[in-house]
Amino acid sequence: MNVLGVLGAISAGLSVALGAFGAHALKTRLSPELLGVFETGVRYQMFHALALLVVAALPPGRASIAAWLFVAGTILFSGSLYGLSFGGPRWLGAVTPVGGLCFLAGWAALAIVYARR
């Protein structure tokens, strides 16, 4: 089983579902600012779900560090934004940049993989 491909596909599907949820159910329940926070989480989740699918197409093990950094980034970055948009504790705002750093490190790791090919 290609675990990274499965995770990428599930994450992309969740991103579509969350985007639809935000556009329809949350539009009248969240302020425009909080809806924007939620939408940023959805957008970055989709970008990195697609990145996981790219990594999944590489030979096994080649970019696993990048993939797991993308997973961690999605959980920390998008997850913290989802929590903040629903009124979660303010300390979640400190988690968001850690997720962003995971994303950046994942892209750097993927660039190294491609540079070595």
Q: Where are the domains of the chain?
A: 3-116
117 pLDDT tier (thresholds 50, 70, 90): confident
| Phi then psi dihedrals of residue 55, to 5 deg | -65, -35
Quick: pLDDT tens for 49-84.
999 999 999 988 888 999 999 999 999 999 999 999
The more confidently predicted of residues 31 and 62 is 31
Separation between Cα atoms, residue 116 and residue 113, nearest integer Å:
5
The encoded tokens of residue 76 equal 């920390």
Note the pTM of the prediction, 2 decimals: 0.94
* 3-state secondary structure string across 37-65: HHHHHHHHHHHHHHHHHHHHCCCCCCCHH
